[in-house]
Every structure is written in C-alpha cells, then in structure tokens.
Amino acid sequence: MTDQDNAIAHYTCNPDLSWVPDPPPQPVIRKTLVSADRDIRSEDIPLLIEKFNAPAGDWESGAIAWVAKRNNLPCLILRGVSDLIDPQGGEAYGNYAFFEEQTLLIMDEFIQVLPTWLAAFNNQKKL
C-alpha cells in the first residue's frame, strides 16, 4: 500500500466495547491510540492530535487489534501511561529509573483489577 489514507483505513480497528461495565473495573479513558513503525517524536504530537484526535500512541496495540479484527475475535486494549511527551521532550527520556518506577505502579494496579476485567469479559460471552 503506497497511499497513506488507504493504509490507515485498512488497518483502523474499532473493537466492540459495549460489554465493558459502567463503571469499569478501574478508571479508564477511552481514546484513539495511533500506532506506527517508528518512535513518536515530540514534533509529531500536534498532527496526531489534529488529524486523529489521538492523545497517545504505541507500537503493540495496533498490531494486536488488527490481528483480532482479521480473526473476528473480541479485543480490549488496556494501556497504562508510564510517561508523557510534549514538544519539549519526555519525562522518561534519559531517565530509565522514572520509567521503571511508573511501570511498577501501573502493573501493581493492573494485576489487582485484572480478575474483574476478565469476569466482565466472560459475563458478556454468556449473554
């Protein structure tokens, strides 16, 4: 695919999240995540927000969602935000200890609520 818009349309995924309980098992913000084949640079951020209304991006979620879509499987992406970037740089740039500390906090909470997420998912399959 050589046309950017065609590629975006082909790989875009909008999983059915109607089964997610209200309120969800933990505080969540539903937003678009963009995925790319390179690091997101701070100068990319204004365009990503303007064009896609995407306040965040990663590499893994897009591939996972696309494979689930291609195989007609349900998919839920839960991402914890370990560090932020803006046009001036990022909190974790050159500060691996900061990244590690944030990751421990995020994973501790996630491990505690994972059983509740799984129960909600299993309940929707029975409906």
> What are residue 56's phi and psi, to 5 degrees?
-150, 160
Predicted local distance difference test score (pLDDT) of residue 82:
79
pLDDT in tens, 64-96: 999 999 999 999 998 888 777 777 777 777 888
Angle value at C-alpha 21, between 15 and 33, nearest 5 degrees:
35
For the chain, the structural domain boundaries read: 4-126
State yes or no: pLDDT of 113 exceeds 80.
Answer: yes
pLDDT value at residue 127: 54
Do the Cβ atoms of 53 and 32 come closer than 8 Å?
A: yes
pTM score, whole prediction: 0.75
